[in-house]
Chain A
Amino acid sequence: MSEHSTYVPGNAVEKWLDDRLPVVRFAKEHLMDFPTPKNLNYWWTFGAILVMCLGVQIVTGIILAMHYTPNVAMAFDSVEHIRRDVNGGRIIQATHAVGASMFFIALYIHMFRGLFYGSYKAPREILWILGVVIFLLTTATAFMGYILPWGQMSFWGATVISNIFTAIPVVGENIKQLVLGGFAVGNPTLNRFFSLHYLLPFIIAAVVALHIWALHVPGNNNPVGVEVKDSRDTVPFHPYYTMKDLYGMVLFMIPFAWFVFFAPDILGHPDNYIMANAQVTPAHIVPEWYLLPFYTILRAIDFNVLFIDSKLGGVIAMGGAMLMLLIVPWLDTSKVRSGVFRPMFKWFFALFAINFVGLMYLGAQPAEGIYTVLAKVCTGYYFLYFLVILPVLSRIETPKPLPTSISESVLGKTAHA
Chain B
Amino acid sequence: MIGANNMNIRKLIIAAAALVAGLAMAPAQAAEGGAHVERQAWSFGGIFGTYDTNQLQRGFQVFREVCSSCHSAHLISFRNLMEPGGPQFSEAQVRALAAEYEVADITADGGRRPAVPADRWPSPFANDVEARDANGGSLPPDFSVLAKARGVTDPFPTWIFNYFTGYQEGGTDYIHALLTGYHEEVPETAPHDFQLPEGKYYNDYFPGHAIGMAPPLADGSVDYAEGEDGQSVPETLEQYSTDVAAFMMWMAEPHLVSRKQTGFAVLIFLVLFAGLMYGTKRKIWAGIEH
Contact = CB atoms under 8 A, between A and B. Distances in A.
Q: What class of interface size applies to chain A in its complex with B? A: 35 or more
Interface in B128-160: 141, 144-146, 148-151
7 contacts: A273-B146, A273-B252, A351-B12, A354-B16, A374-B15, A377-B15, A396-B1
Interface stretch (A132-140, A171-179, A259-267): A259-267
The 6 closest A-B pairs by CB, nearest first: A261-B263, A273-B149, A270-B151, A377-B15, A247-B277, A262-B166
Interface stretch (A57-65, A303-311, A364-372): A364-372
A244 interface: yes
A295 to B, nearest CB: 16
B18 interface: yes
Given A90-B259, A240-B288, A354-B16, A257 B1 contact: no
Nearest to B142: A275
Interface in A361-407: 361-362, 365-366, 370-371, 373-374, 377-378, 380-381, 384, 388-389, 392, 395-396, 407
B1 to A, nearest CB: 6
B162 interface: yes
Given A250-B273, A411-B289, 8 more contacts: A243-B280, A266-B168, A273-B148, A274-B141, A351-B12, A358-B19, A365-B29, A374-B19
A389 B12 CA distance: 12
Interface string B1-23: 11011001001101110110111
Q: What class of interface size applies to chain B in its complex with A? A: 35 or more
Contacts of B252: 273
Contacts of A38: 288-290
A254 B271 contact: yes
Contacts of B278: 247
Interface string A306-341: 000000000000000000000000000000000000
A263 B168 contact: yes
A235 interface: yes
B266 interface: yes
A274 B252 CA distance: 12
A283 B277 CA distance: 47
A367 to B, nearest CB: 12
Given A77-B75, A240-B285, A283-B207, A254 B274 contact: yes
B255 interface: yes
Contacts, number: 145
A377 B18 CA distance: 9
A274 B150 CA distance: 9
Contacts of A69: none
A39 B259 CA distance: 40
Interface in B248-290: 252, 254-255, 259-260, 262-264, 266-267, 270-271, 273-274, 277-278, 280-281, 284-285, 288-290
A370 B25 contact: yes
Contact of A247 (B2, B23, B274, B290): B274
B121 to A, nearest CB: 13
A386 to B, nearest CB: 13
Interface string A64-77: 00000000000001
**Of A94, A271, A366, A370, most B-chain CB atoms within 10 Å:** A370
A250 B271 CA distance: 8
Contacts of A83: 255
A176 to B, nearest CB: 29
B29 to A, nearest CB: 7
A83 B259 CA distance: 11
A266 B166 contact: yes
A331 to B, nearest CB: 16
A206 interface: no
B73 to A, nearest CB: 12
A64 to B, nearest CB: 17
A392 B149 contact: no
Contacts of B162: 263, 266
A251 interface: yes
Contacts of B149: 270-271, 273-274
Contacts of B14: 377
Contacts of B122: none
A243 B279 CA distance: 10
B259 A389 contact: no
Contact of B19 (A90, A283, A378, A396): A378
Contacts of A94: 259
